[in-house]
């Protein structure tokens, strides 16, 4: 079994496979946040890990946390190696394809892919520089396409695998100060659901999909954000929920679940009333004091 965790600054992508099926695993975001926590959990279950991150130092820190200082020397010398690390910029399409090819040659096929990459600017629409908008879509959205295109053919050949998209509740309803982020996450949700339709259309029932839509998490990515009536989620608890969803083949999950129920009600609400509802729950000023994650490590 292999797990590839890929990271882009505050970005995460995880590719994994069911532990009991003795297969390979992949993902992004291993240098921090959910990617790091998921890496630790999969390793504890016996997985081999392939870690991607733009920050090589952050990857090293993740490896230390996973194997411990005592076993780090053996890992560095390749003894009983269960972890492979790659420093990669997820905004570079060519690098994604090249690194994916290296993974296939050196590690093997991938069975579970978890896309969790994400950048956020936290600015009003007219204040977002064009280059920031482009960077957000390259990492948050396009990287998901390229990683899936890299590993889906092998899944199709085997009719076996699992694609996990860690999107956001911001991908099913808009939020002030997050126009670029919401748009990229809406794209993730649309891509994921459309891909599920294609897999079903071609009777590829051995390839599972899981769409994860969490509220804001205390990974530092949304530091300064006001939680409103919903508290910022604990990253350890979210990682546990994601693992449970992957291992039990949940198709979609909103975290917390009560927020999913509220969003369903909002979708039935007349547009004239929506602003008042969002103002009441704190959605309009949620990002007003946003400062974001400080530079990692």
Q: 21 Cβ partners below 8 Å, 6+ apart?
A: 1, 111
For the annotated catalytic residues, the residue numbers are 181
CA distance 47 to 57: 22
What is the token pair recorded at 217?
Answer: 């998490």
DSSP codes joined into one string, 141-159: IIHHHHHHHHHHHHHHHHT
Is the CB of residue 253 less than 8 Å from the CB of residue 213? yes
CA distance 148 to 146: 5
Is residue 112 classed as helix, strand or coil in its secondary structure?
Answer: strand
Nearest CA to 227 among 213, 239, 215? 215
CA distance 268 to 227: 24
CA distance 83 to 2: 8
Phi, psi at 154, each rounded to 5°: -65, -40
Convert 99-126 to b/e letters by CB count within 10 Å (16 or more is b).
bbeebeeebebbbbbbbbbbbbbbbeee
């Amino acid at each position: 079994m292999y797990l590839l965790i890929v990271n882009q600054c505050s970005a995460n992508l995880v590719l994994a496979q069911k532990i009991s099926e003795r297969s390979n695993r992949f993902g992004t975001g291993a240098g921090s946040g959910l990617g790091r926590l998921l890496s630790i959990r999969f390793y504890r279950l016996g997985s081999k890990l392939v870690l991607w991150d733009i920050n090589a130092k952050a990857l090293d820190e993740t490896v230390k946390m996973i194997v411990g200082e005592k076993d780090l020397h053996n890992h560095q010398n390749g003894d009983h190696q269960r972890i492979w690390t790659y420093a990669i910029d997820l905004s570079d399409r060519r690098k994604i394809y090249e690194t994916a090819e290296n993974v296939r040659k050196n590690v093997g096929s991938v069975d579970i892919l978890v896309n969790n990459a994400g950048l956020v600017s936290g600015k009003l629409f007219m204040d977002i520089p064009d280059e920031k908008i482009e960077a957000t879509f390259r990492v948050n959205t396009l990287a998901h396409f390229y990683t899936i295109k890299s590993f889906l053919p092998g899944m199709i050949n085997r009719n076996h695998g699992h694609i996990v998209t860690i999107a956001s509740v911001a991908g099913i309803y808009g939020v002030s100060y997050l126009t670029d982020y919401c748009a990229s996450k809406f794209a993730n949700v649309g891509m994921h659901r459309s891909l599920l339709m294609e897999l079903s259309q071609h009777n590829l029932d051995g390839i599972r999909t899981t769409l994860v839509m969490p509220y804001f998490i205390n990974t530092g990515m949304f530091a300064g954000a006001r939680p409103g009536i919903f508290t910022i989620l604990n990253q350890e608890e979210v990682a546990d929920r994601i693992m449970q969803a992957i291992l039990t083949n949940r198709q979609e999950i909103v975290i917390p679940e009560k927020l999913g129920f509220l969003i369903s009600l909002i979708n039935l609400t007349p547009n004239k009333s929506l602003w008042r509802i969002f103002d009441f729950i704190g959605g309009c000023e949620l990002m007003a004091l946003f400062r974001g994650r400080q530079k990692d490590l």
